[in-house]
């Protein structure tokens, strides 16, 4: 962990900045972009966890599989968190690549709320387990 401390901090900071962008985009009624940023905030937080494993996945589904294998199946995080990131991945893919996708405030807000909790849970994990504190 010590070898990757700076990378973990950078990745979690990126997650929080991306989440802030998602909030602003949602407030501006730019729901498609808010959904994208909400998902990426979750993804960056999971990438921070990947530094604690011997895995170096790059593709989105690979990073999510590492989360499931090392952190959900071992009980460090709930199955609900796994469901959240899988759902966010699917929604983000659909809304990014289907121009006619029905995107509304409710869907954007649902994913934004999920992302806020998700990033907070991972940040809290690093604080509790590694005394690693990330600013706002």
pLDDT for 1 equals 65
Continuous segment of H or E residues that includes residue 12: helix 5-27
pLDDT for 135 equals 76
Domains of the chain and CATH, by start? 2-130 (1.20.120.330)
pLDDT tens for the chain, residues 1 to 136? 667 999 999 999 999 999 999 999 999 999 999 999 999 999 999 999 999 999 989 999 999 999 999 999 999 999 999 999 999 999 999 999 999 999 999 999 999 999 999 999 999 999 999 999 887 6
122 close to 12: Cβ distance less than 8 angstroms: yes
| Residue 87, number of CB atoms within 10 A of its CB | 14
pTM of the model: 0.96
Q: Which residues of 11-47 are buried (b: 16+ CB within 10 A; e: fewer)?
A: bbebbbebbebbbebbeeebbbbbbbbbbbbbbbbbb
Query: What gap in Å lies between CA 108 and CA 94, rounded to an integer?
Result: 13
pLDDT for 3 equals 78
């Amino acid at each position: 962990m010590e070898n990757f401390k700076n990378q973990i901090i950078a990745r979690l900071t990126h997650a929080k900045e991306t989440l802030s962008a998602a909030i602003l985009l949602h407030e501006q009624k730019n729901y498609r972009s808010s959904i994208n940023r909400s998902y990426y905030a979750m993804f960056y937080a999971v990438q921070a966890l990947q530094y604690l494993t011997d895995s170096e996945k790059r593709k989105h589904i690979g990073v999510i599989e590492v989360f499931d294998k090392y952190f959900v199946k071992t009980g460090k995080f709930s199955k609900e968190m796994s469901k959240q990131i899988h759902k966010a991945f699917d929604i983000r893919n659909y809304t990014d690549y289907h121009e006619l996708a029905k995107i509304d405030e409710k869907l954007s807000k649902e994913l934004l709320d999920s992302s806020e909790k998700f990033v907070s849970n991972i940040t809290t994990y690093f604080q509790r387990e590694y005394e690693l504190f990330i600013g706002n």
